[in-house]
Amino acid sequence: MRILLVCLTGFLIGNGSGCAKDWTVEYFTRDTDKDGIVDVQIEVTRRGSEKIMSTLRRKIPANRWSTFRFIYVAGDLVQLESDEDGDGMFESVVFYNPGKNEIEMFTRDQTGKMTPEDTEALRKFKIQRSEMNAFWKDFYDSKRGKK
């Protein structure tokens, strides 16, 4: 606890107090509609070789970006937050239990209060999740030279 406090204090005053950064961030961009303008931004944060967070931003109307943030523990996706309208607030939060392959989904209001989603919204999200998994698989396969 004392080391954490020293690191946090050092971070807050800007000198790091000798706490080494042991994580890295990779950045990727895509022009999905081939118009010469980037419309997808991806950040992948790793601790060593282990992915701990991914952030996907997509360009939406009114010059805004929707944001999806994925959190991983021990290589398993455990949380997803999304800001669909690009206002900077994550309106949806999804928690995963990889061991049981189950999920639970909530919405967040402007006060931060979370409310469970209804069963139909959860069912639709599971379909979207499957499509998202296919996107990430294609993305990483293309970076590794696989087809």
C-alpha distances in Å from residue 83, one per residue of 86, 89, 92: 6, 6, 7
- Structure pTM? 0.70
The number of domains in the chain is 1
In this prediction, residue 19 carries a pLDDT of 66
Asked if the structure places residue 3 within a domain, the reply is no
Taken in order 52, 110, 133, 146, is the CA torsion positive or negative? negative
Residue 115 inside a domain? The answer is yes
Boundaries of domain holding 86: 22-143
Residue 1 resides in a domain = no
As to burial, measured by CB atoms within 10 angstroms (0-12 exposed, 13-18 middle, 19+ buried), residue 71 is middle
Tens-place pLDDT, residues 29-38:
999 989 998 9
